[in-house]
Amino acid sequence: MSDAVRIGEYLLGPSLGEGAMAQVYVALRVKSGGFRHLVAVKRLREALAREPDFVSMLVDEARLTARIDHPNVVGTQDVLNLQGELLIAMDYVRGLSLAEVASRPIPAKVACAIASDVLRGLHAAHELRHPSGESLELVHRDVSPGNIIVGLDGMARLIDFGIAKALGRLSSTRTGVIKGKFRYMAPELFDGRVDRRVDVYSLAICLWEMLTGERLFEGEEESALLDDILAKPIRRPSRVEKSVPSALDAIVLRGLERDPDLRFANAKEMADEIDATVGRASASEVSTWMHERFQDAIEARDALVEAFESSASALADIPEPDPIVTPQLAALGENRRAERTRASSRRSPWLAVGGAVVTATILAFFVTLPASKESSREASSEPSISSSSIVGAPIPLAASGVALPSLSAGPDDDGDFPAEEASARKLDRRRFKKRRIVDCSPPYWLDPKGVRHYKVECTR
């Protein structure tokens, strides 16, 4: 727990993996009332978090992809831009990425089950529509082993909808900043043509690599990769790995057609063809295969997560998360505070004058009352003056000996008020004090447990 970092509602624990764009952490979402929920958090690189175009595009896409409700798509819970950090919070899936399990050939029916699951998740996203009935035209654009999770429940799931599109927008406006993952990109993407069939092509590459245990395009330099993608002859999977059923060759090669019109028209069509022609392993069989082949990796991951979760749960003194202040909310708050200050400044002179008049009137009453009684005793023939007529009569303030309070007196002046009233005014004037100056080097503090907490004043 000494390495845990608190960002907003999220307590980031150990790293689960790292890629070119982000690092993935197991994390707890900590809310009021002791509520804690285990999630996976993708912490994007600082360079991306500083790009307003990318952040804006990512948030826009997250609004759309949050509507995908399918068992083969990992749900996005939150996109957080706070304290200079850009985080994507997702459901935590107990399992391993396809990149971790595809280092050698995968049994054909297990590979078909993984491919079929991902294809059906893709189809659900591709078919997503606006309430008006118009297609949202969602395309993943980055179907690759790192974005496919094989769960220990035997189901495969796709993650990171929306990131590739945001990166595409950034690369079109910031030449050379983001270069993309060429290895799994469909040829037409290089011409700017995008539809659902680019995801079918990328998944077909993943299936070819699961069946053979090799990379389809081996070039390391982008120029070499581009040449391979556009022109390299593609071998049948059964010629690379003898255990692959020849019936799978036609399906894989059709998915890898460079002309999108010759591919499967949609992801569901390819999934149906796989299930009908070759068949697929059941979820139970996939789960058994995962436990048998990756037992050590699974146990190590489970131990890491359990240790983090136990340690975090034991920290009963985890403070409430700081309020998440977006630039829009901050501007709204500043406008409201400025309006209250202007209203207060308009009222203050009149309140001061009114208070002075009332105070002088009351004091004049008590000063004048004894003199009036003495005068009545000395000259009984004169009419007596009632207290009501004294209070109601205009009194020359300067002649009464009462000093007018200065109209320039600010909220910090307590004057000669009684002790209780002065105390109340001191409490009330805290609202008017300027924000205290906080040292933001560093912008966080460490509690006794070693947990890092960012200072609210340093995030505004």
Question: How close are the terminal C-alpha atoms of the chain, in Å?
Answer: 27
Amino acid residing at 20: A
Q: Which residues of 186-209 are buried (b: 16+ CB within 10 A; e: fewer)?
A: bbbbeeeebebbbbbbbbbbbbbb
Tell whether the torsion through CA atoms of 429, 433, 439 and 445 is positive or negative: positive
Write out the two tokens for 251: 């399906």
- 84 dihedral zone (left: phi>0; alpha: psi -120 to 50; beta): left
- CA distance readout (Å), 211 to 35, 282, 400: 43, 17, 103
Q: How many CB atoms lie within 10 A of CB 245?
A: 16
Geometric angle at alpha carbon 121, from 23 and 69, rounded to 5° = 85
Active site residue 142: yes
Geometric angle at alpha carbon 130, from 129 and 134, rounded to 5° = 75
What is the greatest pairwise CA distance in the chain? 133
- Catalytic: which of 69, 78, 91, 142? 142
Instruction: Write the DSSP assignment of 405-449 as a string of letters.
Output: PPTT--TT--TT--HHHHHHHHHHGGGGSPPPP---SSSEEE-TT
Surface-to-core class of residue 275, CB atoms within 10 Å of its CB (0-12 exposed, 13-18 middle, 19+ buried) = middle
Positions annotated as catalytic residues are 142
